[in-house]
Amino acid sequence: MAMKNLILYQRRALGFVNYKKSIISFLVLITLFFGPFPAYSHSKHGDIGNSPKSKKDLLRIGATVYKHMCVFCHGQDGNGGGDAMAYLFPWPRDFRKGVFKYRSTPFGSLPLDKDIYRTIARGIPGTAMPAWRGALSEDETWGVVEYIKSFSKRFTKDKPKEQITHGEVPVSDAESIKRGQSIYQEMRCSRCHGTDLKGDGPIADDLYDIWDHRVFIYDLTDPNAFKFGFDKKDLFLIMTTGIDGTPMKSYNHLNENERWDLASFIESKINKEIYKPAQYEGDLKTHVIDGEIDTDPENPLWDSVAVQNIHTLPLNARRDPIDQIQFQSVINDEGIAFRLQWEDAQADRTSSRHQDFKDAIAMQFALGKVMLHKHGHNEPFFGMGNRNKVVNIWQWRADWQTEIETKEKLEYATKGLDLDTMIFGGEVNPVDSLNPFREEAVEELNAEGFGTLTPQPQTKQNVLGKGVWKEGKWSVVFFRTLDSINKWDVRFKRKIPVLVAFAVWDGKHQDRNGRKVISVWQRLNVPLPAD
């Protein structure tokens, strides 16, 4: 309740008064800057220029891009209430207040245009907001900046304050780290971030922002969780600016040396050895082979096939998310196969009970003649397509795999004894629930937007698949013949790239339906055997 009162106070003060020491504030400062960190540093954004185009032209460009790529999450009027909102945590930003969390300007100030540009280019780590760098041109990005600003009257009334700068970065030594630890304790930061900076403090689950959205506290020891970067200067900037719209105020009440010491302490706790540079979009390759292809994930043929890494984004904030999929693909005269692997310490194989959740993975293909970021961005929305832009989805589920394997074991053990005989004739059925009609661990579906997911008829199911969990890793193979008579199937008979995206459900995180991690579109290059 006390936290809610603090938030209400912030709302009334929309100038965001520079609060005195707060036991809560430090949390959101760092916490909302987390998630998979892109592969370039914050310092590079100091060189962001301006577009030579007029404001009118930028607004026109920005409106087009926004309505094609942003509206699904942020809504038509920028209120954060797009169709995808119900599937996301944290929720998409409401732009109407003109309150921006990530800035290089003082607490309570409007952001600089280049601050908004940076966020669009780099994405919002720990959320479903991808990095649009490379997907949008500079003019398109500047256009989105102008269009986002048009949602709030604050930009017509106020001007941003001067950008925060700093001098030479001091050396982190044992003494500065020790002083920083004392400040961490004095500010009672552990109440939110935890004693070990793991984000598990006693009040970490009771924090809300001005949009009445819960705040998620990330693990400060994970270098893949920092939005602004994990260098000492980046931490210093975060503590100086604060995060508007949240309980996290600026720590500018600490003198500059104290902020540097606190940054030294936090930096000393970051495990930089586990850092994984993020790649949001890429070109995937299929390799032509002469031999046969099957669905065995442990087939030795995969040992000689190049592995590519695909970065994933969590639709719901979580600790230790699956942040990467290992991708391989082969093709011959008859069919195409994909092997997908991901780290998962726990195999969740069944969902026979209400409290059980299964592991699963899906591939999504764009249909029709579309190319990524070409022809005015005519590709489908990467979240299950959109109206008149149908996608073809292949889903494998661990519980379906378990059902199939269990039936095979039962048939072997009982020498073909009917299951009804086992159940009603006094025999013990070792399985809680079995689908007697399940023949494949893969289902083929189509969608053209949220709420439209539809399985293909049984006679149109063309995809085979099998998964194996071993030593903390899932390996799943999808296979389909090259020829298909179903108009809702993806085609692999053209030389232009096929757009493909991925989704993974992690049972230990209670993933189901829209609770999952996803990728954005990737370009799949398919050299046909006859080429």
The residues near 356 (Cβ < 8 Å, ≥ 6 apart) are 348, 350, 507
**Domain spans of the chain, in order of start:** 2-35+165-274, 52-157, 283-398+440-525
Higher-pLDDT residue of 218 and 260 is 260
Mean pLDDT of 361-386: 89
Q: Give the separation between CA 434 and CA 386, rounded to whole angstroms.
A: 34
Task: Report how far residue 400's alpha carbon sits from residue 390's, in angstroms, rounded to the nearest whole number.
Answer: 25
C-alpha angle 362-366-372 in degrees, rounded to nearest 5: 115
Q: What are the φ/ψ torsions at residue 126 (nearest 5 degrees)?
A: 80, 5
Q: Tell me how far apart the terminal alpha carbons of the chain are, to the nearest angstrom.
A: 67
Instruction: Inform me whether the pLDDT recorded for 163 exceeds 70.
Output: yes
- pLDDT for 494 equals 63
The pLDDT, as a whole number, for residue 417 is: 55
- Crossing angle, helix 256-268 and helix 174-186, to 10 degrees? 100
Tokens of 273: 């050895």
Burial of 168 (0-12, 13-18, 19+ CB in 10 A): exposed
- Residue 234 CA to residue 169 CA, distance in Å, equals 10
Q: Quickly state the pLDDT bin for 250 (edges 50, 70, 90).
A: confident
Distance from C-alpha of 250 to C-alpha of 244, rounded to nearest angstrom: 9
Do residues 324 and 276 lie in contact, with contact meaning Cβ atoms separated by under 8 Å? Answer: yes
Residue 34 near residue 125 (C-beta atoms within 8 A): yes
**pLDDT for residue 206:** 92
pLDDT, position 415: 56
pLDDT, position 280:
84
User: 18-22, 272-276, 290-294, 295-299 — which is least confidently predicted?
Assistant: 18-22
Minimum mean pLDDT range among 6-10, 131-135, 243-247, 379-383: 6-10
CA-wise closest residue to 85 among 380, 450, 387, 364: 450
Query: What is the average pLDDT across 492-503?
Result: 86
> Which of 53-62, 81-90, 383-392, 403-412 shows the lowest mean pLDDT across its residues?
403-412
Closest CA relative to residue 320, chosen from 174, 126, 61: 126
Report H helices in 123-208: 138-149, 154-157, 174-186, 190-193
Mean pLDDT (the chain, rounded): 84
More confident residue, 504 or 208: 504
- Give pLDDT, residue 406: 84
Q: Choose the weakest-confidence range: 50-54, 85-89, 354-358, 433-437.
A: 433-437
Rounded Cα–Cα distance for residues 32 and 192 (Å): 13
pLDDT of residue 419: 53
pLDDT digits (tens, 9 = 90+) for 404-430: 888 777 665 555 555 555 555 544 444
One-letter amino acid at 44 equals: K
pLDDT (tens digit, 9 = 90+) per residue, 289-305? 999 999 999 999 999 99
Homologous superfamily, domain 52-157: Cytochrome c-like domain (1.10.760.10)
Confidence of residue 247 (pLDDT cuts 50, 70, 90): confident
CATH for 2-35+165-274 is 1.10.760.10
Helices (H) and strands (E) in the chain, counts: 13, 15
C-alpha distances in Å from residue 220, one per residue of 148, 178, 263, 301? 30, 17, 12, 41
* CATH fold match for the domains 2-35+165-274 and 52-157: yes
Angle (CA) 487-497-333 rounded to 5° is: 70
Q: How far apart are CA 160 and CA 230, in angstroms?
A: 26
In tens, the pLDDT along 310-361 reads: 999 999 988 888 999 999 999 999 999 999 999 999 999 986 666 679 999 9
Whole-angstrom CA distances from 370 to 146, 375, 498 are 28, 8, 8
What's the pLDDT at 147? 97
**9-23, 140-154, 303-317 — which is least confidently predicted?**
9-23
> For a pLDDT cut of 90, what percent of the chain falls above it?
57
* Range with the poorest average pLDDT among 179-183, 259-263, 429-433: 429-433
Q: Residue 27 above 60 pLDDT?
A: no
What is the token pair recorded at 333? 């005269």
Which run of H or of E encompasses 8? Answer: helix 2-12
Nearest to 188 by CA among 32, 34, 21, 16: 21
The CATH code of the domain at 283-398+440-525 is 2.60.40.1190
pLDDT at 492: 87
C-alpha neighbours within 13 Å on the C-beta side of residue 159: 3
Distance CA 46, CA 193 (A): 30
User: What b/e readout covers 123-157, taking b as 16+ CB neighbours within 10 angstroms?
Assistant: bbbbbbbbbbbebbebbbbbbbbbbbbbbbeebee
Instruction: Give the pLDDT confidence score for residue 264 in this predicted structure.
Output: 97
> With DSSP H G I counted as helix, E B as strand and the rest as coil, what are the percentages for the chain, rounded to 5?
30, 15, 55
Give the CA-trace dihedral at 78, 81, 85, 91, to 10 degrees.
60
Contact 96, 78 (CB under 8 A): yes
Residue 78 is encoded by which pair of tokens? 């920028």
